[in-house]
Amino acid sequence: MTTLSATDVALEGFRVTRENPRTFLIWSGFSFAVSIVGGLLTISLGDEARAAFGVISGKEQPDLNGLWKAVETLSPLLIMGLVVQCMTVAAVYRIVLRHADHGFGYLKLGMDEVRLILLTLIYVVIGMVLLTMVSIAAALVALAASVAGQQAAILVGLATELFAMGLLAYIAVRLSLAPAITFAENRLAIFDSWRITRGHAWTLAGAYVLAIACMVVVMLLAMTIFAAVAALLNGGDMQAVGKALSPDQSSLSAYFTPFTIGYLVFAAPLSAVWYTVVAAPAAVAYQVLSGRPPEIDEAAPASA
């Protein structure tokens, strides 16, 4: 069986950013541009967008009609987010699996990205179906357990929910290489990941947890430093820092204050690192498990 190192897989994203500084700078600039465009779109959508955000992020569960209307209102932002996500993920896959295919910072918008978009939409549908099936099964089990009393129903319901969460997480890990396979093999590979990850689920799960944990530490440290510096520049006013993190979306002048723009510049490389660290493990795991040799671009410098 092929040996897969959870540590090597988890830290692949940090290696990519370290060894490709020029590309990372382009990705940071791209993240900043996306933030600016996202802000412009949000402001142009007006009060309806803010109300839709409130529906989706609110504590109360919205009804299906209200949720659909909110999604419809935010569709320009959601479509942009999906395209940007697939472009960024494809760029990370390209630098790991097709290093010679430079482009502009490995960023492109072609059939590779289209296939990743289609795969994402297919997985959203599959995820919704699985979640519905698991919810129905859990409700039926809890209903059956209620015959033995309320406490038994609560315990069985809790155990069923934990089992369901574990099952969904396991399925997600087993299917997690689908985007990398789809990119590498130039075809929609919806379930191929299930075969290639057989016997490696725990290693992959550990790698993903380690990668995200490392990134969370980096984000917390960076945000702590930003908040401290920003507070000092504003005479200790933490409310001003909060406004930069959640700016007024009523107008362009209210949104794009110097402080908010400064925050977007600061956050851009963090966003670039996040995408790299989250996407790279699947690419290198596929490379190892498939036995695919790494492509070396001998004509390009290491910092391409």
Residue 227 has what pLDDT? 82
pLDDT-flagged residues of the chain (< 70) = 1-2, 49-50, 53-64, 66, 236-241, 243-244, 293-304
Global confidence as pTM: 0.85
Report the alpha-carbon distance of residue 292 to residue 80 in Å, rounded: 32
Report the alpha-carbon distance of residue 192 to residue 282 in Å, rounded: 13
Residue 43 has what pLDDT? 84
Report the alpha-carbon distance of residue 2 to residue 289 in Å, rounded: 6
Grouping H, G, I as helix, E, B as strand and the rest as coil, residue 30 is: helix
* Phi, psi dihedrals of residue 107, rounded to the nearest 5°: -90, 130
